Structures are given as C-alpha cells and as structure tokens.
Amino acid sequence: MYVFGTRDELLQWVRKVAFGLGFVVFILRSDKVTRAQGRKTFVLLGCERSEKYRKYKTNLEVSVTGTRKCDCPFRLHDKPIKNREGWILKVICGLHNHELGETLISHPYAGKLLPDEHALVVDMTKS
C-alpha cells in the first residue's frame, strides 16, 4: 500500500500511469467535507469512456454517428486517511470493456497543454 502526500500528487500519478497504458482517467465525482453530517471527502475516478452518450437537446434529430462512450466499468476511489496526512487509492473495478490504445497520438488529451506550456504560448503571443 502506498500513501500519497496530497490529492494532486495522487491524481498526477494515476493520470501518468493510465496515459502510459493507453487510456485517460478523469474525475467522475468528488466532494469535500463541508461539516454536513454524512458527507465525506472523496474523489471517484473513471475511464474517459465511462458512462453512455446522452443527448442534451431532446427535440433535435440525432446526428451523432459514433461516440467514445461505451459504459466502461473502470473505477478508482481516492480518499484521505483518517487521523493522518495523505491520500490512499482503492481500485473498485480494474477492467475495461474496450480496447486500450496503442498510443494516444491524435487523442484530445494528448493535445492538451500543460500550465507551463500554456504560459509559454501566452508569452509568445504577446511578443
């Protein structure tokens, strides 16, 4: 069992490992303790292909011919450790119902700029 120092450290490690395996992990749900009874701090992570495609406008004709969503069951649960500093990761379901990518070339996530890269682009645009 490995304990992560912070939530961001845990998320960064999970995303790096998933990216190396050929899929992308994102936050499905999260909550912070707000002193409300019965609520706990947690982060629920899932595969980008989790859930199913849903139409946002019901009166329009369906124009979607394909979607990435395939109701993938992969889930990870992160929560802080009681009475200690740190976060722990628990695998709820480690299976995928789709093929994992060989590479993530031309994948939307691969084209996402890191904060340092974004700042560099802004600086270059100004000059």
Cα–Cα dist 120/53, whole Å: 35
The pTM is what? Answer: 0.66
Positive or negative CA dihedral for 63, 67, 72, 77? negative
pLDDT, tens digit (0-9, with 9 covering 90-100), for 21-67 = 878 888 888 877 666 666 678 888 888 777 776 667 666 666 656 66
pLDDT, tens digit (0-9, with 9 covering 90-100), for 61-100 = 666 566 677 778 888 888 888 777 888 888 888 878 777 7
- Mind spelling out the 3-state secondary structure of 50-110? CCCCCCCCCCCCCCCCCCCCCCCCCEEEEEECCCCCCEEEEEEECCCCCCCCCCCCCCCCC
Name the band, by pLDDT with cuts 50, 70 and 90, for residue 117.
confident
Higher local confidence (pLDDT), 104 or 74: 74
